[in-house]
Structure 1
């Protein structure tokens, strides 16, 4: 009985912390677009978006460094390879795709597509990293979830004109990069501190993106306190959510953590409606059918894990 109560408590902690992370990430979809507008980037070049992302992640890494440097110290020689690999997929590739993609789609659409990170992470964990077994229920759940993501765009069978491949397509590529980084963090977090990996991968990835954006003329001017505040919020979202998520990945199986990602598109839709007034962009019924299908797919995957 005591062990059962302990397990319920353990899963309760996971549910609260993972859902909190997803709420922060869900709010980031519309806030990024808001930040673009405040910084005069609504029609900006690709390199402006890359530069803006670099600013965000250098600040996120600096924030973590200030908060944790006494505990984590400097990376050791064996830490640098994990830092570079995670930085490549978690920060550089994911957010290069994401920042360009989200500039060409709605916050609601981006958040729903990004909900597929649950299924992509499970598939990559099983087929690439061999962290867990790929079973029929997982396959069915993943396919159902992906259909839910597509449904919001294809419910009127307008495939060719309903999707913008430089928008939704790049957001989906960001989802794949995220899924790979999730499994890398699970693997490397066994031998290195997740907080150390998170801190320095943000700094390294942010510097790379900042330098690339600057070289190609993509500078951004933050002229108002509001634009600075939005950038600070996005940096805080990255720092807080990713560290908590990394610690959860160290303590729990990938599927058990990733399954809570279904709440990200729900929070994304809610925050997009509040901040960007996007409720009328998509057919409301189609949005909720898509989210329902995603949730059912997650429950199937979750049940197959016995969580």
Structure 2
């Protein structure tokens, strides 16, 4: 292996940031067209194109970083910068979900009681929505769209158990790496990837059930909006986390990582545990309460 340099490595210009920006643009545009139901099949096609571009970008960028690491270009200072960067990235994700949870709490704690006449707003209630019932979830919109709440038993509970189990298997894989037990590392990490894929498959099933049988849709008022935004964005993060862990599994099979040098694996594990914690909050505040 090449000797590890002690200088701070500055990479050459890379096409991956602009490719990633293009992929995110296509994803956002496709999702918007798809959700709005306009432009026909263009929405799903643009969204699929964005997904493909993002996948190519992630594998390409990961490949560059792996090659640089194995070429001995990363110093201890570079390793510290990676850790700081990943920590700030996860913090930004905490703020991201905090904004959506804040919208949910605002609707439930402030807006719904206010529309129901709380705080001497009886006149507001009488003018805006005389028949409004100030209880959550709101199962009817002013336009008359009715829906059914998604219960926490069944698929949501099963998915919660799956994600909690995957967090344990990810930790066991990390322990196996530290103990240099490569066969167990491959098994536990592979199982974590399979659990992530199972979670995503069951979430798709849950969405089909919500649309087809419960009438729970994006246009089902504030309840439908918050439900799909929170669970949908979480599903997108699970997809990214599963992809990261899959790349780590491929690297493990090629003999990468040592107990002393495995930040790529560790960063993916941090992200996966973060995704699990967010789901626990979702399960409590979206499904149960």
Give the TM-score, by structure 2 length: 0.33
| Greater RCO, 1 or 2 (C-alpha within 8 Å, sep 6+) | 1
Report which of the two structures shows the higher radius of gyration computed on alpha carbons. Answer: 2
